[in-house]
Amino acid sequence: MKNKIKAKNKEIVLSGMAVSPGIAIGSVFVFRTMKINVQELQAEVADPKQEWDLFNKAVKKVVQQLDIAQAASQKQYGDEFTEIFESQKTFLDDVALLEEIQQEIELSASSAPFAVSKILSEKTDYFINMENTYFRERAYDIMDLKQKLIYSLLGIDFDYNLSSPSIVVAEMLSPSDTVQFNRNFILGFLTDQGGKTSHTAIMARGLQIPAVVNGYTLSKLIVPGSTVILDGFTGTIVINPRPATIERYKALQEEHEQFNRELQKEIALPSVTPDGQHITLMANIEFAHELSDVTKNKAEGVGLFRTESVFIEKKDLPSEQEQFEIYKQAAEQIAPLPLTVRTIDLGGDKFLDNYSAEDELNPFLGWRAIRFCLDEPEIFNMQLRAILRASVFGNIHILLPMISSVDEVIRTKEYLEEVRQELTEKGIAFKADIPLGIMIETPAAAMLTGILADYVDYFSIGTNDLTQYVLAIDRTNDRVAKSYNTFNPAVLAFIAKTIETGKLRGKPVTLCGEYAAVSEAVPLLLGMGLRNFSMNPHLIAKVKKIVRIFDIESCENLYEKVKELHTAGAIEQYCKNFFKSKVPDLKFLS
């Protein structure tokens, strides 16, 4: 596809990655496609001091732009996206980063745009090569800042003016771009780059706007004004659709909208199976601002607060006080519902600048999560102190990641005891009976649940990692992705063992990996005896609908059948067929 795709050309169907569900049909608004060759700007500058001044002016301008975007966001969406802007501004305030850019300008006589491009590209590369999707996709925030600074230095402004309902097409969209468009005119997003956990995707899902990542360079190929269809369920992109195709998708769109209206009406209904079993549906969050979604979707608490974001957004260690404020506010906001704070899961290649490990051959099997924390008492104690201090403001639970031995739990309890003594001596209040739980995400932990039950109050099954470790399949490696399947009977056996032990020993078990919201997996998990699920807050309405359809007895029968099957493929297919047999007409659920 080297040439521009002409309007009124014949219909072209492409497949991309669906990142936010829904159907969008409309003409395209192509946003900011101008490509700047920064290399061409690298003339040796005569006056580095002047370049440095220009750079500082550009930083001020970009901060102003971010303030404006933040205000627009506040007006349209409340506090929902505040932290994203704050973290971008914090990045522009980072003394070490500013020094690096200054050095590039002064020592290499680089132009300000070139220095910005060079240094921020290095930062982007650092983040984009990380294994963890969350960190990898923070690279897009830095790319956005880079572009904004360069455009500001070159005096280029953007056009956010949507004057009619349109599908916004862009190479990449940042949160600050996204919120400047008039929400009423955005039909969908089609970006060249991004992923399921990029901020645009997260925002699109939050705003219920269909979004597809195309994986090509469509932002440069689509002619503005062409008609496009985005299928946010399958990732299909239709350019210049035929009238019959438009009709087909319009019908699907109407059906989906109707479905959503019904689902929203049901959000306050109890989460109970037809035979009266209550199922607890909780939310996973990464940022405190997501708590509004938790409340909106009637989650029964936060089953997983991934605190890595608190650390990575600072790019350095957040102080105890900073952490305390975050945990306290979050706990207060959802009290009396539980806030499950998971201690940091940094490690492998996800370290903070000053705490990087030597290069590891197998970072996922390396110095990660609880292993890192136990070796870095200062960092661990600081987080534990902040959590304990916040505990009096709500219903906090503590969750430990990546446990693979009883020793790790014993040692953590010693740390906790130390922190308790310290706080007591200082007369600082904390709750004495904070529930302590562990993630079951290694085969060792699942095998040891019978013993671990003596030491902890609850289990939380992390199927994302558990699948990876049970099957010895790197979940980030595309070449083996087809075998990464939680329906594999080996993984299911570990899940079943954990649920069984929990029941036997009176320890609540939650499942907080992505599998908790896989439609076809929900009846199977119910059949295995799982009663607590935690997931992206926007998926709660869907899972509640499923819970209200399937009675426990039929789910238990399903599980009995599944036990007779030998392969992941056969089990997955069986669960799909079972699901369809009960809900033949509810295609948006699966």
**Is 555 one of the catalytic residues?**
no
Tell me whether residue 194 or residue 462 sits nearer to ligand PEP (CB atom).
462
**Is 199 one of the catalytic residues?**
yes
Say whether the peptide bond before residue 508 is cis (omega within 30 degrees of 0): no
Of the ranges 83-91, 274-282, 457-465, 573-581, which one interacts with ligand PEP (CB under 6 A)?
457-465
Q: The dihedral of CA 137, 139, 140, 141: what is its sign?
A: positive
Tell me whether residue 249 or residue 469 sits nearer to ligand PEP (CB atom).
469
DSSP assignment, residue 318? P
Q: Max CA-CA distance within the chain?
A: 79
Q: How far is the CB of 423 from ligand PEP (least distance, A)?
A: 28
Tell me whether residue 448 or residue 512 sits nearer to Mg ion (CB atom).
512
Neighbours of 96 (CB within 10 A): 9
Tell me whether residue 348 or residue 527 sits nearer to ligand PEP (CB atom).
348
Tell me whether residue 146 or residue 306 sits nearer to ligand PEP (CB atom).
306
The reply on whether position 345 binds ligand PEP by CB under 6 A is yes
The reply on whether position 286 binds ligand PEP by CB under 6 A is no
* C-alpha dihedral, 288 to 292 to 295 to 298, nearest 10°: -110
Q: How far is the CB of 343 from ligand PEP (least distance, A)?
A: 12
Interface of this chain with ligand PEP, residues 100 to 159, rule: CB under 6 A: none
Contact partner, 512, from ligand PEP, Mg ion, none, Cβ < 5-8 Å per class:
ligand PEP
Tokens matching residue 324: 């305390």
Cα angle 258, 541, 467 (rounded to 5 degrees) comes to 125
Tell me whether residue 297 or residue 463 sits nearer to ligand PEP (CB atom).
463
Cα angle 14, 19, 21 (rounded to 5 degrees) comes to 90
**Alpha-carbon distance 341 to 285, whole Å?**
10
Of the ranges 1-9, 205-213, 458-466, 540-548, which one interacts with ligand PEP (CB under 6 A)?
458-466
**Alpha-carbon distance 343 to 363, whole Å?**
19
| 8 A C-beta contact, residue 341 and residue 395 | no
Interface of this chain with Mg ion, residues 428 to 457, rule: CB under 5 A: 441
**Alpha-carbon distance 439 to 408, whole Å?**
12
Segment holding 511, helix H or strand E: strand 509-511
x-marked contacts with ligand PEP along 510-539 as a string, rule CB under 6 A:
--xx--------------------------
Burial of 506 (0-12, 13-18, 19+ CB in 10 A): exposed
The reply on whether position 462 binds Mg ion by CB under 5 A is yes
Length of the chain in terms of residues written: 590
| 8 A C-beta contact, residue 154 and residue 113 | yes
Of the ranges 153-161, 325-333, 425-433, 456-464, which one interacts with ligand PEP (CB under 6 A)?
456-464
Of the ranges 136-144, 177-185, 412-420, 462-470, which one interacts with ligand PEP (CB under 6 A)?
462-470
The reply on whether position 441 binds ligand PEP by CB under 6 A is yes
Q: How far is the CB of 14 from ligand PEP (least distance, A)?
A: 30
DSSP assignment, residue 234? T
Tell me whether residue 349 or residue 441 sits nearer to ligand PEP (CB atom).
441
Q: Considering only CA atoms, which of 369, 394, 395, 393 is closest in space to residue 383?
A: 369
Q: How far is the CB of 356 from Mg ion (least distance, A)?
A: 21
Q: What is the separation of C-alpha 158 from the centre of its chain, rounded to a whole number of angstroms?
A: 28
Q: How far is the CB of 441 from Mg ion (least distance, A)?
A: 5
Residues lying near Mg ion in the complex (CB under 5 A): 441, 462, 465
Task: Give catalytic residues, as residue numbers.
Answer: 199, 512
Residues lying near ligand PEP in the complex (CB under 6 A): 304, 306, 345, 441, 462-465, 512-513
